[in-house]
A = this chain, B = another copy of it.
Amino acid sequence: MSFDRLIEKIKETKNPSVVGLDPKLDYVPEYIKNRCFEENGVNLESASKAILLFNKMIIDEIYDIVPAIKPQAAYYEMYGYSGVKALEETIKYAKSKGMFVITDGKRNDIGATMEAYTIAHLGKVSIGDVEFEPFGADALTVNGYLGTDGISPLLKECEKSDKGIFVLVKTSNPSSGELQDKLIDNVPVYSVMGDMCEEWGKNQIGKYNYSSVGAVVGATYPEQLSELRKRLPHTMFLVPGYGAQGGGAQGVAGAFDENGLGAIVNSSRAIICAYKKEGCDEKDFAKAARREALRMRDDICSYINLKG
């Protein structure tokens, strides 16, 4: 019922970063793809198996130094239901290794339907007298455009089963300002959305002073990051846009509080494709991912005051 579990994992690993598992097939080394295609042919199932294998090998190399993964649902849905199966299995595997899992689905809908998304991604579904956990992530990214009744079902689940959500506030992309920077009574839309996060989380604040309702704020807008950190004292930030999208460690430092807490910074491509940038043997891809994850940790930690 707060982000305490995530924060403790961050303190334990002394690492406020999350590895985005966005495994486009182009990112997967040839030897893995070839093995899967030879076994089962060139099809959606084989592509999904290759992705799962790729993810597992990366997880094996990073679970002791990185607190969390963030699989992006789009890259799994792209391979149909078998891709979605790979998402399910990636989540289960990461959890079995003790990692905190944030499903990046940016889901949103009206109340009754949001209950179904809540069950799907964070909760359990009853079939007859039996309960099943469909995806079982620890947290989910969501879009708050529909207001409170599209968020309420999530809040109930956060309270019931110690889960969290990250609401899109100020996204990292170039055109995020088209709506998000517009002013409502002299306050930008992103701050209005941020204020809603504080309101939604106010009864679920944990021992580190952060609630179960976090916000997505892009590393590509460092000024807004610092401004929102001050404005939203109980809102944990998920910060995409570091690395490949251009955000630097100095800029993301503003997302953290004086204890080096309150934010977790995502990097996807720069980590899972580190072997391409390094130019090392593709069979070394997972170790290259570990090297980049360590470099990123040290880069960010050199600007903040995180204690274990």
Binding site for B on A (CB under 8 A): 22, 24-25, 37, 42-44, 46-47, 72, 74-75, 77-85, 87-88, 106-111, 113-114, 116-117, 119-121, 125, 127-130, 132, 134-135, 143-150, 168, 171-180, 182-185, 189, 192-193, 196, 240
Return chain B residues, CB-CB under 8 Å to A82.
81
Tell whether, in the assembled complex, residue B120 and residue A74 are in contact, meaning their CB atoms are under 8 Å apart. yes
Tell whether, in the assembled complex, residue A44 and residue B134 are in contact, meaning their CB atoms are under 8 Å apart. yes
A292 to B: closest C-beta gap in Å: 19
Return chain B residues, CB-CB under 8 Å to A132.
43-44, 80
Contact of A88 among B81, B143, B175, B184 (CB under 8 A): B81
Docked pose: A177 CA to B150 CA in angstroms: 12
A194 to B: closest C-beta gap in Å: 12
Docked pose: A222 CA to B190 CA in angstroms: 28
Tell whether, in the assembled complex, residue A178 and residue B147 are in contact, meaning their CB atoms are under 8 Å apart. yes
A274 to B: closest C-beta gap in Å: 18
Q: Can you name 8 extra interface pairs (CB under 8 A) apart from A110-B173, A150-B173?
A: A44-B127, A75-B113, A79-B134, A80-B84, A110-B172, A146-B171, A146-B175, A182-B184
Tell whether, in the assembled complex, residue B192 and residue A175 are in contact, meaning their CB atoms are under 8 Å apart. no
Return chain B residues, CB-CB under 8 Å to A85.
81
Tell whether, in the assembled complex, residue B127 and residue A147 are in contact, meaning their CB atoms are under 8 Å apart. no
A135 to B: closest C-beta gap in Å: 7
A202 to B: closest C-beta gap in Å: 16
Contact of A182 among B114, B128, B148, B192 (CB under 8 A): B192
Docked pose: A150 CA to B147 CA in angstroms: 20
Return chain B residues, CB-CB under 8 Å to A81.
81-82, 84-85, 87-88
Tell whether, in the assembled complex, residue A79 and residue B125 are in contact, meaning their CB atoms are under 8 Å apart. yes
Return chain B residues, CB-CB under 8 Å to A178.
147-148, 196
Contact of A128 among B42, B78, B147, B174 (CB under 8 A): B42
Tell whether, in the assembled complex, residue A147 and residue B113 are in contact, meaning their CB atoms are under 8 Å apart. no
Tell whether, in the assembled complex, residue B143 and residue A42 are in contact, meaning their CB atoms are under 8 Å apart. no
Tell whether, in the assembled complex, residue B109 and residue A74 are in contact, meaning their CB atoms are under 8 Å apart. yes
Which residue of B has the minimal Cβ distance to A86?
B81
Known: A74-B107, A132-B43. Contact between A179 and B192, CB under 8 A? yes
Docked pose: A147 CA to B22 CA in angstroms: 22
Tell whether, in the assembled complex, residue A130 and residue B42 are in contact, meaning their CB atoms are under 8 Å apart. yes
A90 to B: closest C-beta gap in Å: 12
Tell whether, in the assembled complex, residue A176 and residue B192 are in contact, meaning their CB atoms are under 8 Å apart. no
Docked pose: A47 CA to B126 CA in angstroms: 10
Return chain B residues, CB-CB under 8 Å to A75.
113, 116
Known: A42-B128, A145-B143. Contact between A74 and B179, CB under 8 A? no
Return chain B residues, CB-CB under 8 Å to A24.
116
Known: A84-B84, A134-B77. Contact between A146 and B127, CB under 8 A? no
A74 to B: closest C-beta gap in Å: 4
A145 to B: closest C-beta gap in Å: 5
